[in-house]
Structure 1
Amino acid sequence: MAASSFGTSSPPVFDGQNYQLWAVKMKTYLRDFDLWEVVETGNGPPPLRANPTVTQLKHYAEESAKKYKSLSIIHAAVTETIFTRIMACDTGKEAWDRSKEEFQGSEKTKQMQVLNLRREYELLKMKESEPVKEYADRLMKIVNQIRLLGEDLPKKRVIKKVLVSLPEKFESKISSLEDSKDLSEISLAELVNSLQVVEQRKAYRLEDINESALLASQKGKA
């Protein structure tokens, strides 16, 4: 179903791919409209007391309407193909739970996904010719997939993973970093920037060597 506009922005659209990413974005979007709680719990407002005031009646009507407003937003946040799978749902919670069950899978499926990602994470190493930034991006893609599935992967553990999976050419830089600061407190961006300095120096050195070799070759021909 094509997305329509709610307030100043349209909801993120789910097409059947990358459910976890869409779910995170959608939760934030629903919270912005104070609708996530009703989607998560399905609870409506408490019953009105006897002889309610006009203000209380208005508030009760607004709170009661949230389960339908949330459904409307979820309808607008999926493609036509996905909409046909949730069109029979009467509330936002029903639509959310059905989508989650189908596209995230059971708890067992989720745990298998986490297990496979953790195995991939543990085996990951930086290639000799690979730029540090590209390796960090590869690593963080896996880390974020694990975190999206609800598994904790602390920053310190990610930093340690980077340090033990780097090629030998970075050993001296790592040693100097260890001497100057606590590596358990360094950020990934700071570590990558420090390692990129090593890359740049090696690139400049190689460039100078190649230029000297070229000049020597030309001189020899002359």
Structure 2
Amino acid sequence: METYLDAMDLWEAVEEDYEVLPLQDNPTMAQIKNHKDRKTRKSKAKACLFAAVSSTIFTRVMSLKSAKAIWDYLKTEYEGNERIKGMQVLNLIRDFELQKMKESKTIKEYSDKLLSIANKVRLLGSDLHDSRIVEKILVTVPEKFEATIMTLENTKDLSKITLAELLNALQAQERPDAKCSKCNQLGHEAVICKGKAQQQEVEAQIVDQEVED
């Protein structure tokens, strides 16, 4: 907003809050023009500030007499809001870090909880990337998912795995009827298919042998 007011040649009217004195007797044309310009800039600055705020804020500042008074009020108001937002983000991050999946919960319930916190953080203007949610899930799910995670470590680069891939793999363990599209076996998803990994290892060994020969 400051940049906009400066570009419109109105920032001086806000920052300095100068007083427009009455014209003296027999003013020159230059004095009349300067007097009018300075008075107009003060009015325009107020109008710009009024136009930039919500109707709720407008009712609080409409009685203020100068652009400087309006600016000072808005600065205090929004700086206070930023502090509040910062505290809200910190509380949400703390809540996120304290989360741990209970045995009685499903992967979907746990991931929905984490995503809910992440989305609240994002709405407040801060970042909480999916990669952080992936890391959180990997280290806080119950031991019953350890085998699935170990398989993921052997078949995927966990630093690059997407949240969707991780959730699909873990949820497959909860669904015995899940069928792998790679090997057509039940109980796991293609993302952690051991058959696929073993096949890749065999192919790699064959290539190595051919190179050596």
| TM-score under structure 1 length normalisation | 0.47
Q: TM-score, normalised by structure 2?
A: 0.49
Which structure has more relative contact order (CA 8 Å, sep 6+)? It is 1
Q: Which protein shows a greater Rg? A: 2
